[in-house]
Amino acid sequence: MATNPTDMLHVPEKDNWRDTILAGLANYIDAGSIVAGAAALALWQETYKLSNDFVGLIGAFGPNAIGAGIGALVGGWLCDHLGRKKIYQWDMLVYAAGMAMLVFAWAPWMIVTGFMIVGLAVGADIPASWSLIAEQAPDKRRGKHSGVAQVLWYLGPVVVLLMSLALTNLGGLGARIVFAHLLVIALGLTLLRSRMSESKRWTEAKEQKLERPPVSTLFKGKYLTSILGLVGMYGFWNLWAGTNGFFFPYILRTVGAATQAQSVAIQALSFAIGMASIYFVFMKYSDKVNQRTLFGLSAIIQVAGMALLGLFDLTIPVALLYVFLLQFGGGFGAQSFFQLWSAEMFPTMLRSTAQGLCFAIVRISLGVFSFFVPMLTATGFTTLAWILTGFLVVSGVIGFAWAPRNEGKSLEQLEAERQAA
């Protein structure tokens, strides 16, 4: 495949933090929707007498798994054809429609439909937003801009948790208010994003009217290697993250955090540690130091934290160390690097398609895997701890073996290197 003339595109070395934040709020909405949905489903299960299997299906097809995966797959492909702006602006209206159904739901069918629409819209927004952030960021600060989106991903659950705690006495109405705040943000984003500019890299590529590489290009050579590396690294980490939710309630009960306020405080603290890690480590060093080394360090820290639960009795010091190591290591680990590397390893006109494909494989796999989580949790606390440690080990090994050295390089330079190889 010949080098695209857009490889010579010069991107100004100016930080556009406004557009980065507006695009990165997709992560806030994604994570916020997952946490808000989990809290609301428990209430709706009691209100509408929903079976556990029915609740499991809603969760699997919502923003946490299969729904988001399908949305990313379709949205990523459309994003490369129609532009980043068109997708990330209008998908928020689709999201708002789904969220409105959840705010005003009075029957189970509205809950199912609303969650599916929300999942599809969230998924479509991810590749559009991540591509835009990478393409408009200065070459030597691409990791720093990507980190902003990850901070917003951690912030979403904190806000939702604190709102849910404050509105606990309102029951179902409180859940609707939490959903309503996400609805308002989506409508506001639709307005604010309408004033954003399209990606200069995508616009230049479109204006050249060059033949678009076929999607089959992604399944050859270096691109296929990148997809396998990304999916393996982030996929196994995501299996850990999707199952690890079993541990928090158990840990909080065991160490004596009996009240809901204490539980929320500990969870909020854990997310705060993650945000601090993203800011002080990932955003400051991912553009400067050896990215493979940085990723490897994060993997070792998380494996050590998870292994604590398999090696020692669960005491308060062990629990606190577990929370700190998992969140601190996770801040500059698999998820942050997945966003960054998935944007860097593919050409402009296939970037969102590739990101959507990788994201879809991971989220859909998590959705399928979620049906087997009850079987895993039944194996016992210690056994499950070692299973999850294994997930982190596999993620770390794949990521470290494949990890690229992209720090400080332009997207065009990276593409030229792949072409030469």
pLDDT tens profile 12-46: 567 889 999 999 998 999 888 888 887 787 778 77
CB 343 within 8 A of CB 130: yes
Instruction: Indicate whether 6 pLDDT > 60.
Output: no
pLDDT per position as a tens digit, 365-402: 988 887 777 777 777 888 888 999 999 999 999 999 99
Give the pLDDT score at 2: 41
Q: Which domains does the chain have, with CATH numbers?
A: 21-420 (1.20.1250.20)
CA dist., res. 231 & res. 342, Å (int): 10
Q: Between the CA atoms of 7, 8, 10 and 16, what dihedral angle is there, to the nearest 10 degrees?
A: -10
Does 1 score more than 50 pLDDT? no
Q: Which residues contact 155 (CB under 8 A, 6 or more apart)?
A: 28, 271, 275
Contact status, residue 40 vs residue 179, Cβ threshold 8 Å? yes
E strands in 67-168: none
- Which pLDDT band, with edges at 50, 70 and 90, does 171 fall under? confident
Separation CA 96–CA 90 (nearest Å): 10
Side chain identity at 286, as an amino acid letter? S
Tokens of 143: 């990791």
CA 15 to chain centre: 23
The pTM assigned to this predicted structure is 0.91
According to DSSP H, which parts of 83-216 are helical?
A: 84-103, 108-136, 142-166, 172-193, 200-207
